[in-house]
Amino acid sequence: MEIGRGFSSAERARVGALYWEAFAAELSPAFGDEATGRAEITASLSADRFLVARRGTEVLGVCGFRTADGGAVDQTWRATRSRLGWTAALRATAVLAPLHRGPVPGVLVLDGLCVAADRRGAGTGSALLTAAADLAARRGERAVQLSVVDTNPRAEALYRRRGFTVVGGGDLGPLAGIYGFRRYRTLQRAVHPAGGRP
């Protein structure tokens, strides 16, 4: 398995499928149907804001992250409106807004870790997290940050095993029925400049 930054146009559909599979419960309320949502999210992925795990030419998993220019899913109003039309774009923008993760100074904020179903438990997620820590170190940042929802205890267990600790969180309150989860936790892992591992 090798991990690199970015994906090719030929890999976009595969990366989009992995991202949608991982986050469909949270993302699908923003769209009229699954096919529309999956296509819109796939089209909005920023290739250079992903770490990609591959075995040969097969994409095994991906880890999105934020840069100063935006997140792994970069939905601009103009592009979304051109693809969906004004009304559907307005709905998508409004529904997705509460899920937005902003930048944190000195921290690499992850924007979605997704591993193919047949690769879960095989070390792909851990390898992507290590690569993210290494990237943060090369960028001179002090930590890696991610969020996990209360309906995904398996992911939270992985993050804790990999050295992440809780630094915050929140409750969606009445919006929980829309997104399929009520609470989320924000976790961080410190990194060091010489290699990225705590």
pLDDT tens, position by position, 62-111: 999 998 888 888 877 677 777 777 778 887 787 777 677 778 899 999 99
User: Mean pLDDT, to the nearest integer, of 33-60?
Assistant: 92
Q: What percentage of the chain reaches a pLDDT higher than 70? A: 94
* Helix orientation angle between 77-84 and 34-44, rounded to the nearest 10 degrees: 140
| Number of separate helices (H) and strands (E) present in the chain | 7, 7
Model confidence, pTM:
0.84
Domains and CATH numbers, the chain: 2-140 (3.40.630.30)
The residue ranking higher by pLDDT, 189 or 169, is 189
Report strand pairing: 143-149 vs 183-190.
Answer: antiparallel
* Distant-in-sequence, close-in-space partners of 42: CB < 8 Å, separation ≥ 6: 12, 13, 15, 16, 17, 19, 20
Please tell me the predicted confidence (pLDDT) of residue 98.
66
